[in-house]
Chain A
């Protein structure tokens, strides 16, 4: 399923906030058609790494390669143009707008500023059905009336709709019940099957083992390792998260300890 050239590759990313070293020479990659989990304890640097990819932060040093060529991401717009979309934990949907309106928020189809509702509605329903999101009764109901899982599905579908190649999901199941979590995890797997590179950030190892192909572990802003889901156990991941040794010591690259 997954090919070997990484869609997105980060090399030696270092980022500090004042005296706090948030990331130290972190490597990260995601291949097309792969669900790559990014795990780590609080403060491990997951969010900072994601923000460097999304353009919210700029890395102090290091390289970002997209489809093999080096890119410079200076803001969220640059990331979106490359085809990188982030679905944030707190969703970023407007409750008072309906599903279609949220899907096209900020990128409305318009002719001389006049909205083309028909086109937006068609594209929304085709996107939702291509992702097999079938629980939403009407795409003209306001997002406030949707369940947590449905809202998450809308947020994910919105990210996917823009011909994106890499979708980054920040704790997509954090606030969801059991059935809704299953619904969202199935959606995450489908994104991978459709050939996208999916980055899944989660605290929940059960979710990670349900969906991910590979698991990257960060600890204290450093790489601990990249593990293949089929050959590792939750126990090993927990150990890596809490007590893993960095794979690189100051400038000396080391292979991941698969």
Chain B
């Protein structure tokens, strides 16, 4: 539910004193925006502003930042983090935490690498290997979720245990085997496949159409009710913004060239956006998603309403394991191998930071899937930009930490403003 829906005018009842009525059209849009700012109802605005600031800043300072090739790189680096962050959103919505995802991603990567290994005697087609890897990661998530839900061990402890256990498993295997090279075409495609130029344009057109279609469907399916009431200038602005973003992305990607090979739209971006759409649908339009928000908001109320709270917990940790597995495969694909250095950097903390920067509350019940995408984009861009400036890793961590702190502080203020204004 967007802010606009919540604030939407109600014809059925008289407004209590002190509530503004909005003028129609653009003036109303402005009034609404101003009211939202005053009452701390910022939505994704701060993070989008932050992203623009970061891009402009690095555009001026770093010589290699504003290139098409780097843009494609950025997408390939960030896609895996975004996948993990999607799972984190659902876990945080429950008010829980999953610390194991970094190494569960490693397990996913290890399994695909092992199963595609030519001459190993158990070589499988790449697609099948990926399906098995994701399934195993989902089962790992389910087992951890089961311990949390049925035994009652806090998720922090269970997944901290998972963190150590799966790290241990990866160490044991890779210390013997060294680096496993991934040769399977399909697995490597997950992060490195580049669409041809015209396919890129078609995909941009499809993604552009997606938003207006969902809005129109919503208006049609729910005609006569409040959720069907749309703030049309806002919808128009969003649709135009998304069109510019989609076609702009493809235009930049298509513009790139490494020596003679033309660049184009990378597959991981399509995967990440597809999962964004899928998981947003899951969170907002299904009973499961509704129950996740309910359990995160008030577990006791959910239980009394007949929702099986343990079932929801297990399902969410299963989802978290599965998205971690998919993210792990994408990361392995990026370097065509799995080595002892996996998972790269602080994947776990980047994924959690992405969701939190994206406005997902650590206390449960508040946040959106889009937050993970925007947060991952911000962190990815920041780290990529600092890299192109040849800043040391130490400073990159410091800056990332600072941004995380700033984002959460801003959010805390926003929540306080919301409370004060009774929203």
Q: Counting CB contacts under 8 A, is B13 at the interface?
A: yes
Which one of A89-97, A214-222, A236-244 is at the interface?
A89-97
With contacts A92-B301, A96-B365 taken as known, whether A118 is within 8 angstroms of B306 at the C-beta atoms is no
Partner of A92, one of B8, B14, B286, B300: B300
B177 within 8 A of A: no
Stretch of A32-40, A138-146, A172-180, A183-191 with 4 or more beta carbons under 8 angstroms from chain B:
A138-146
A96 touches B293 (CB 8 A): yes
Name the interface residues of B167-206: CB closer than 8 Å to any CB of A. none
Question: Which B residues form the contact surface with A (CB < 8 A)?
Answer: 1, 5-6, 8-10, 12-16, 19, 221-228, 285-288, 290-291, 293-294, 296-298, 300-302, 304-307, 365-366, 422-423
Which of B13, B290, B294, B306 has a CB less than 8 Å from the CB of A137? B13
Nearest-neighbor residue (CB-CB) of B5 within chain A: A140
B10 touches A114 (CB 8 A): no
List of B residues within 8 angstroms of A136 by Cβ: 13
Partner of A93 from the list B1, B286, B287, B298 (CB cut-off 8 Å) is B298
Contact (Cβ within 8 A) B286 A114: yes
When the two chains form their complex, are residues A121 and B225 in contact, meaning their CB atoms are under 8 A apart?
Answer: yes
Q: Which of B6, B13, B225, B304 contacts A88 (CB 8 A)?
A: B304
Q: Is A134 an interface residue (CB 8 A)?
A: yes
CA–CA, A145 to B9, complex, Å? 15
24 CB contacts below 8 A, A to B, read A94-B301, A96-B297, A97-B290, A105-B301, A106-B294, A108-B290, A114-B285, A115-B285, A115-B287, A115-B290, A117-B221, A117-B222, A117-B227, A121-B222, A122-B224, A129-B12, A134-B13, A135-B13, A137-B16, A137-B19, A138-B9, A140-B1, A140-B8, A140-B10
* Most chain A Cβ neighbours within 10 Å, of B13, B222, B224: B13
Listed residue (B286, B290, B296, B302) with the most chain A CB atoms within 10 angstroms of its CB: B290
Closest 10 CB pairs of A and B: A106-B305, A96-B297, A94-B297, A118-B222, A96-B365, A106-B306, A138-B10, A105-B305, A92-B301, A94-B298
Contact of A96 among B223, B226, B296 (CB under 8 A): B296
A77 within 8 A of B: yes
Minimum Cβ distance to chain A for residue B13 (Å)? 6
Q: Please tell me if A125 contacts chain B, counting CB pairs below 8 Å.
A: yes
Q: Which residue in chain B gives the minimum CB-CB distance to A133?
A: B13
Which residues on B sit within 8 Å (CB–CB) of A108?
287, 290
Bound complex: CA of A142 vs CA of B418, how far in Å?
Answer: 12
- A171 surroundings in chain B (CB, below 8 A): none
B-side contacts of A138, CB under 8 Å: 6, 8-10, 13, 226
Interface check A206, CB cutoff 8 A: no
A94-B297, A142-B6 are known; give 13 further A-B pairs, CB within 8 A. A76-B306, A91-B301, A92-B300, A94-B294, A101-B293, A107-B306, A110-B286, A110-B287, A114-B285, A138-B9, A140-B10, A140-B226, A145-B423
A76 and B228 contact, CB distance less than 8 A: no
A77–B305 alpha-carbon span in the complex (Å): 10
Bound Cα distance A122, B307 (Å): 23
Tell whether A98 is near chain B: CB-to-CB under 8 Å: yes
State whether the Cβ of A231 lies closer than 8 Å to any Cβ in chain B. no
Chain B residues with CB under 8 Å of A257's CB are none
Closest to B16 in A: A137
Report chain A residues within 8 Å CB of B291.
Answer: 106
Query: Which chain B residue has the least Cβ–Cβ distance from A109?
Result: B287
Of listed A88, A94, A122, A129, residue having the most chain B CB within 10 A: A94
Are B5 and A97 neighbours in the complex by a CB distance under 8 Å?
no
Cβ–Cβ contact A94 & B365, under 8 A: yes
From residue A71, how far is it (CB to closest CB) to chain B in Å? 19
Chain A residue at minimal CB-CB distance from B363: A96
- CB of A19 within 8 A of chain B? no
A/B pair count, beta carbons within 8 Å: 118
A250 interface contact, C-beta 8 A: no
| A235 interfacial by beta-carbon distance below 8 Å | no
In the assembly, what is the distance between CA of A95 and CA of B422, in Å? 12
Alpha-carbon gap, A97 to B283, bound state (A)? 13
* Distance of B98 from chain A, by nearest CB (Å): 20
Q: When chains A and B are docked, how far (Å) is the Cα of A140 from the Cα of B223? A: 15
Q: Are A141 and B285 in contact (CB under 8 A)?
A: no
Which residues of the other chain, B, contact A90 by a CB distance below 8 angstroms? 300
Q: B residues within 8 A CB of A106?
A: 291, 294, 302, 305-307
Task: Flag whether A113 is at the interface (Cβ < 8 A).
Answer: yes
Which one of B285, B286, B305, B423 lies within 8 Å of A107 (CB-CB)? B305
Q: Are A95 and B298 in contact (CB under 8 A)?
A: yes
| Residue from the set B16, B226, B300 with the largest chain A CB neighbour count within 10 Å | B226
Bound CA span A92–B307, Å: 12
Q: Once bound together, how far apart are the Cα atoms of A80 and B304, in whole Å?
A: 11
B7 to chain A, nearest CB (A): 8
Do the beta carbons of A137 and B286 come within 8 Å of each other?
no
Q: Nearest chain B CB to A177's CB is how many angstroms away?
A: 15
Residues of A within 8 A of B422 (CB): 145
For the complex, what is the distance from the CA of A113 to the CA of B8, rounded to whole Å? 26
A70-93 with Cβ < 8 A to chain B:
76-77, 80, 88, 90-93
Determine how close the nearest CB of chain B comes to the CB of A103; give it in whole angstroms.
10
Q: Is the CB of B19 within 8 A of A113?
A: no
Which A residues are CB-close (under 8 A) to B307? 105-106
Residues in chain B near residue A107, CB distance under 8 A? 305-306
Whether the Cβ atoms of A76 and B304 lie closer than 8 Å is yes
Chain A min CB distance to B12 (Å): 6
Whether B285 contacts A97 by the Cβ 8 Å rule is no
